[in-house]
Amino acid sequence: MAMDHKNGSLEKVGVVKGEVNPLDISIAVRACDADAVPSVLERLSSFGKTPPVERDDIRLAMLADARTLVRALETPRETMIKHNWAQPACHAAITTCYNAGVLDLLRDGPMKVDQLASKLGMHREVLAMGYIKETDVDEYAPTNFSKALTIPIIGDGYPCLAGGAHTASTKLHEYLRQTQYATPSDFAAGPYQYAFDTEMNLFQYMHAHPPLGKQFDHHMGGYRQGRPSWMDPNFYPVKEQIFAGMDTSEDSVLLVDIGGGLGHDLGEFSAKYPDAPGRLVLQDLQVVIDGIKQLDPKIERMNHDFLTEQPLKGARAYYMHSVLHDWPDDMCANILKPLAGAMKRGYSKLLINENVIPDKDADWQATALDVLMMALFASKERTLTQWRQLLETPELGLRIVRVWSAEHSQESLIECELV
């Protein structure tokens, strides 16, 4: 877009060289979708004056309408400023406060900026305030949001992604321009390596630059909080699908969590099914296993690189949560081959807990993550068709039995078995 300062209009350069379509600047300063406002307001008003927001279905429906209303009322100029000024500045401010310890000090009540600066040994001008409550001149109080950030699995996402991820998103447009906008597919030489000027992938880079690796492991436990869990009866019938028919011998393995990080999923599973038959095994790289401070003693820890042979043969279920979306298709095949080779036909199941992007009306969290996966891993979030193309190949010998989902869950559980 080029601006003609004489007549205050924008000129949009078309695909054909030399083709110019004049566009009046007034489009940028009018509401994006004024026609949609009445219907959105009507939907919001239908919830009443005191809607039961403790119910997720009500809260999420209202939130979707509220976001639609904001997008409709904002002008294109305001949306542009939000994307390019407010959102980066907000993330920078929150990360600064988190790293400096501001949010910990502020947790118990209002404090003056000078008090905070004095206690932290900082200049008052450096204190970036965001998402907290202004109670007086230069005085701020905590909110539920700022209090939640003092919990590491919530707050650590900010410095972790700021230090080891966001540069790849910022420079994605440069990388794509240099590659003539070809879809990234090289995990070892993709947008991430270009942005960080490294030969390492994200996992290697973060663990080579502490505390990013530890913060990333925390973030993986935090992002899934509050989401419907695959192991709940209204999502996936665990007892009917994997307990029933379980080998009852003493050494039998019930569930192997591959690339399971700090063990959040297996810990939840053990708490919800304390009498589950068989062994529960957490597998990840040694650097991750060594970082576990607390884990249910019933869960076995095992150092394992999922690109190598799976040492546990014939388990009842092998489980992966948000693993395959980190890898392009060719690398996923390399991960799945040793896994399929360890499965027992007619007995073992592969459970993949990931997004299955719908062909229409995809959730914003999934689509945002799709772009992030491209920037970080030269990978993607997948549709059901793409999952079938990945999993149901002669080389792997797998078939999708069913895709299980629950209301208000962005993620699904893809249940597979050997053909």
Ordered DSSP codes for 297-329: TTEEEEE--TTS--SS-S-SEEEEES-GGGS-H
- Please identify which of the residues 166, 207, 219, 325 carries the catalytic annotation: 325
- Per-residue 3-state assignment (H helix, E strand, C coil) for 13-53: ECCCCCCEEEEEHHHHHCCCCHHHHHHHHHHHHCCCCCCCC
The dihedral formed by the CA atoms of 383, 384, 389 and 393, expressed in degrees to the nearest 10: 150
Q: Is the dihedral of CA 229, 202, 214, 124 positive or negative?
A: negative
Tally of CB atoms within 10 A around 293: 5
| Beta bridge pairs of residue 414 | 352, 403
- The type of residue at 221 is G
Q: Report helix, strand or coil for 255.
A: strand
Tally of CB atoms within 10 A around 126: 10
Q: Is the dihedral of CA 336, 230, 406, 403 positive or negative?
A: positive
Question: What whole-number distance in Å separates Cα of residue 299 and Cα of residue 255?
Answer: 10
Q: Is 166 a catalytic residue?
A: no
DSSP 8-state secondary structure symbol assigned to residue 125: G
> Where in the sequence numbering do the catalytic residues fall?
325
